[in-house]
Structure formats: structure tokens, C-alpha cells
């Protein structure tokens, strides 16, 4: 057996298998259902605020908005951010770009986050 027999290709352009997509959707649904209701309302408003200010946003931008507010509510699991961004897309505020960016926030350790196009940006 030679070293070339271990060569293979990985296709990163394909969608995840259906069972993986279902597990992700279930996790997002659970995170959204268990998020603090007050936090969800405030976070949704901060998504709109960030989208009005920038042509493209990430969850970092929305977290900056909510942290700038006096005494913002909190939620136990920030996995609820994903459903909030999808909710904004469903309301016509954001559009998915199929691009990702590493978080610039030290507490996020460079995690990947979606880049969203604002449909309400006002320069």
C-alpha cells in the first residue's frame, strides 16, 4: 500500500445530509423555544437596528447593539441567535448570503457566523 492510496476528495459545496439538517433545525428550534422571551424581543429589535446601519451584518453586530442598551435582558444560551437571524430574514429584514465570517469578539474564539445582507440598510 502506498501513500497515494489514501488520497480522497471532500466536497464542501454539497448540502449536509437530510438527517444532519433535521438535527440542526431541531436544535435551533429548541434553543429558540427556551430563550428568554424578553431577550428575543430585544434581540429582534437590535437585528433591525444593526441592519439599518450596515449593508451586511453578522451576529457580532447585533450583539454590539444589544450590549449598548441599558440593562439589556440576557438568555441562558446564545444558540438562540441563529433562529433570531432567520426570523429577521423571514420578515424581510435580512437576506442570507451563503458566506461566513469568523467572529471578531474575543469571547467567541473565532467561531463561524453567517454574513447577512441587509434589505433595510439606509446609508
Helix axes 81-90, 59-67, angle to 10 degrees: 100
Distances in Å between the alpha carbon of 100 and those of 33, 45, 106, 110, 115?
A: 25, 23, 17, 11, 5
Q: Span 25-30, mean pLDDT?
A: 88
Domains and CATH numbers, the chain: 17-118 (1.10.10)
Say if CB 112 and CB 55 are below 8 A apart: no
Measured torsion, CA atoms of residues 68, 70, 76, 79, in degrees rounded to the nearest 10? -30
Task: Kindly report whether the global pTM for this prediction surpasses the value 0.85.
Answer: no
pLDDT of 58 reads 97
Res. 108: pLDDT tops 70 = yes
pLDDT in tens, 54-104: 999 999 999 999 999 999 998 888 889 999 999 999 999 999 999 999 999
Res. 2: pLDDT tops 60 = no
pLDDT of 54 reads 98
pLDDT of 121 reads 97
Amino acid at each position: 500500500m502506498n501513500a497515494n492510496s489514501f488520497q480522497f476528495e471532500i466536497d464542501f459545496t454539497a448540502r449536509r445530509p437530510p438527517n444532519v439538517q433535521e438535527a440542526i433545525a431541531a436544535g435551533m428550534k429548541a434553543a429558540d423555544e427556551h430563550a428568554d422571551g424578553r431577550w428575543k424581543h430585544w434581540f429582534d429589535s437590535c437585528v433591525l437596528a444593526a441592519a439599518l446601519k450596515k449593508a451586511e451584518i453578522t451576529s457580532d453586530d447585533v450583539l454590539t447593539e444589544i450590549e449598548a442598551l441599558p440593562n439589556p435582558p440576557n438568555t441562558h444560551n446564545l444558540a438562540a441567535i441563529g433562529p433570531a437571524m432567520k426570523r429577521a430574514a423571514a420578515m424581510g429584514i435580512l437576506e442570507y448570503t451563503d458566506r461566513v465570517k469568523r467572529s471578531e469578539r474575543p469571547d467567541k474564539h473565532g467561531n463561524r457566523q453567517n454574513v447577512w445582507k441587509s434589505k433595510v440598510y439606509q446609508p
